[in-house]
Amino acid sequence: MSRVCDITGKRPRVGNNVSHANNKTKRKFYPNLHTKKFYVPEEDRWIKLKVSSTALRTINKNGITAVLKKARANGNVLI
């Protein structure tokens, strides 16, 4: 199961844990992902997407249809 947002394409980033003694060890910063079901009235069906919190805010602001259209144009959504 990949940790990639279906709308924005956000994926894990790599960084360092830095201790008090300034020792550095590799770590990952994961996107804040949620699995959600959305109803698309134009297609009259429910779709299940793995979306980040920022993508949820974008969907609430612009609507699921507009966001899906833009994501499909960018090649992020396969549905």
Please identify which residue in the block is written with the tokens 């709308």: 7
Query: 33 has which bridge partners?
Result: 52
Q: And the tokens for 4?
A: 């990639």
The pLDDT score that the predictor gives to residue 49 is: 94
Residue 74: the pLDDT is 84
- Residue 16's pLDDT is 98
Q: Which domains does the chain have, with CATH numbers?
A: 13-74 (2.30.170.40)
Instruction: List pLDDT tens digits, range 48-65.
Output: 999 999 999 999 999 999
3-19: b (≥16 Cβ within 10 Å) or e = eebbbbebeeeeeeeee
Query: Which pLDDT value is given to residue 77?
Result: 72
pLDDT of residue 1: 65
pLDDT on residue 75: 82
Rounded distance, CA 47 to CA 11, Å? 21
User: Where is pLDDT greater, at 54 or 76?
Assistant: 54
